Amino acid sequence: MAVRRKTRRVNVGGVGIGGDAPVALQSMTSTYTYEIDKTIDQIQRLARAGADLVRVAVPDRRDTEALPHILAASPVPLVADVHFHFERAMEAIEAGIHKIRLNPGNIQDRAKVQRVIAACKERGIPIRVGVNEGGIVERKDKSRRAEEKATLESNYRGNLIRIMLDKLDEYLRIFDEADFHDVVISAKSIDPTIVIDAYTEISRRYDYPLHLGVTHAGPPETGRIRSVTALGALLANGIGDTIRISYAADPIHEIEDGKELLCCLGLRPRTEPELIACPTCGRIEVDLFKLVTDVRQKLAAEISLPIKVAVMGCVVNGPGECEGADVAIFAGNRKGIIYVQGQQRQTVPEDRMLDALLEECRALQDAVQRGEATLTNAHVDVKPPDPLPRRDGSVPLTVAGSARR
Ligand code: SF4
């Protein structure tokens, strides 16, 4: 892991983005925002699952009128997603929204953009500026649109990133002129490799915090790999201050997967049980897949501490691969041998494996809560290595300072 690139810090209703703030996890509601109860319910579910921020779309006046009720019931700061109507931005600001997502290219009248910026500046509300692939080509100016489309046809990948960077520079000049610096940048694409290259280049040019995402990634089955490829590579290289994994599905999956990604990279402490399991092979002698499924469900329902649990299929590699697990079972010959923090505790028949494993997990949880035991993974102290060099040989920033050049 590279040392995290130092960016400016913005404050979104008490949640920091950038600087030394932890990488913030966010999602977006899929409800009509004006359906107040459904929207509040979804925000609360997302917050319980681990969302630090939630974005809501406000395409209609009914949506901004609902914001005061939704904001009052939301356990996390909210972001208003504004596209073409600057009035919605002004209404959301008036309602007390914590952040605005705005694409200045979608609001043709520069004076209107400046009014939004002035209103946000007055109230300390950050603005995310997006130069995402889906909306990057000029919509209204026909000759500029034709020129950009022709440019993309000649070299889609290279020229897309160039257009994104040119527009970002153009937009940021508007914010610079207003002396407004509570800016977060996004540059999403459908292609993970474009996402990696675009954000890497942006991180060289600006020190604004970055909102990472892959746009239109699809359902979790296809979007998961696409998103984790891009976001994992960037985060591992120290780039990224807030993430949204976006799926064509219940947004709860976005938070579940985003949280797991951050935990895997050591960017978020694990707060729930962690399950590791062997993939099984020809040595297996029990129905391990069923045991793993059952253990996963039971852990989620009954264990609230980040206990690391290992479920292994045999004794060949079981003990070695269970090393580091708080509670481990390795099966064989229709039996399971259970270890707790490296100590062998009991050997049980196959039909007792699930219950016995859960008993040990509950006992360990109780002991930790009484202060009589600690979890092994709570003591892992990983010293970050030197930053990974980028492709061109340059090294990511490790100290505060303007990265803009
Ligand atoms: S733990 Fe045993 S059963 Fe599982 S993959 Fe390894 S060798 Fe195969």
Using one digit for the tens of pLDDT, what is the confidence trace for 50-99? 999 999 999 999 999 999 999 999 999 999 999 878 899 999 999 999 99
* CB contact set of 33 (below 8 Å; sequence gap of 6+): 39, 56, 57, 58, 62, 63, 66, 67, 70
Share of the chain above pLDDT 90, in %: 69
Asked if 394 and 204 count as a contact pair (C-beta separation under 8 A), the reply is yes
Are 211 and 21 spatial neighbours (Cβ–Cβ below 8 Å)? no
CA of 280 to the centre of ligand 1 (A): 5
Which residue has a Cα nearest atom 5 of ligand 1? 280
Count of CB atoms within 10 A of residue 256's CB? Answer: 16
Which atom number of ligand 1 is nearest to the Cα of residue 279?
A: 5
Ligand 1 centroid to 25 CA: how many Å? Answer: 35
Dist. CA 283 → ligand 1 center (Å): 6
Alpha-carbon torsion, ordered 179, 184, 188, 194, to 10 deg? 80
Dihedral angle, C-alpha 141, 144, 147, 150, nearest 10 °: -50
Average pLDDT over residues 111-117: 92
Q: From the alpha carbon of 317, which atom of ligand 1 is closest? A: 1
Residues with CB under 6 A from ligand 1: 278-281, 283-284, 312-314, 316-318
Cβ pair 311, 336 in contact under 8 A: no
Per residue in 1-29, pLDDT (tens digit) is 888 999 999 999 999 999 999 999 999 99
Q: What is the mean pLDDT of residues 246-253?
A: 95
Which atom, in ligand 1's list, is nearest to the CA of 282? Answer: 8
Q: Which regions of the chain carry the CATH code 3.30.413.10?
A: 274-372
At residue 379, the pLDDT reads: 40
Gap between the Cα atoms of 101 and 305, Å rounded: 35
Residue with tokens 């060099």: 389
Question: What is the location of CATH 3.20.20.20 in the chain?
Answer: 9-264
- CA–centroid distance, 301 to ligand 1, in Å, is 27
Structure tokens at 5: 């690139």
Summary mean pLDDT of the chain: 88
Sole residue written with tokens 């890497």: 200
311 alpha carbon – ligand 1 mean position (Å): 10
Amino acid at 374: T
Residue type at 39?
T
Spell out a b/e string for 324-356, using b for 16 or more CB atoms within 10 Å of the CB, else e: ebbbbbbbbeebbbbbbbeeebeebebeebbeb
Q: Tell me the CATH number for domain 9-264.
A: 3.20.20.20
DSSP 155: -
Ligand 1 center to residue 322 CA distance, Å?
A: 11
Between the CA of 285 and the centroid of ligand 1 the distance, in Å, is 10
The amino acid that residue 207 corresponds to is: D
pLDDT of residue 90: 96
- pLDDT digit string (tens) for 138-150? 777 788 888 888 8
Q: For residue 221, what are the contacts with CB-CB under 8 A and spacing of at least 6?
A: none
Which of 118, 105, 117, 246 has the alpha carbon at shortest distance from 189? 246
DSSP structural state of residue 332: E
Q: Which atom of ligand 1 is the closest one to the Cα of 281?
A: 8
Phi-psi region for residue 184, left (φ > 0), alpha (ψ -120 to 50) or beta? beta
Q: Which atom of ligand 1 is nearest to the CA of 278?
A: 4
Q: Which of 292, 312, 315, 323 to mutate to test the pocket of ligand 1 (most atoms within 8 A of CB)?
A: 312
Kindly give the number of the ligand 1 atom that is closest to the alpha carbon of 314: 2
Cα gap 107→84, rounded to integer Å = 6
For residue 344, the one-letter residue type is: Q
Please state which CATH class domain 274-372 belongs to.
Answer: alpha beta
Tell me the pLDDT tens digit for each residue of 136-195. Answer: 777 777 888 888 888 888 888 888 999 999 999 999 999 999 999 999 999 999 999 999
Q: Count the Cβ atoms, other than its own, within 10 Å of residue 41.
A: 14
By C-alpha distance, which of 388, 352, 356 is closest to 239? 388
Residue nearest to atom 6 of ligand 1 (CA): 317
CA of 315 to the centre of ligand 1 (A): 8
Q: Which atom of ligand 1 is nearest to the CA of 318?
A: 1
pLDDT, tens only, 316-360: 765 566 667 899 998 887 888 898 988 889 999 999 999 999 999
Q: How many Cβ atoms from other residues are within 10 Å of residue 216's Cβ?
A: 14
Contact 97, 78 (CB under 8 A): yes
Tell me: pLDDT of 388 over 70.
no
Are 213 and 245 in contact, with CB atoms under 8 Å apart?
Answer: yes
Pocket test for ligand 1, best of 316, 323, 329, 339 (most atoms within 8 A of CB): 316
For residue 312, which atom of ligand 1 is closest to its CA?
1
Contact present, 158 and 211 (Cβ < 8 Å): no
Q: How far is the CA of 279 from the centre of ligand 1 (A)?
A: 7
Q: Classify residue 12 as exposed, middle or buried by CB count within 10 Å of its CB (0-12, 13-18, 19+).
A: buried
Q: Measure the CA–CA gap between 238 and 232, rounded to whole angstroms.
A: 10
Q: Tell me, what's the pLDDT at 253? A: 96
**Would you say 74 and 40 are in contact if contact means Cβ atoms under 8 Å apart?**
yes
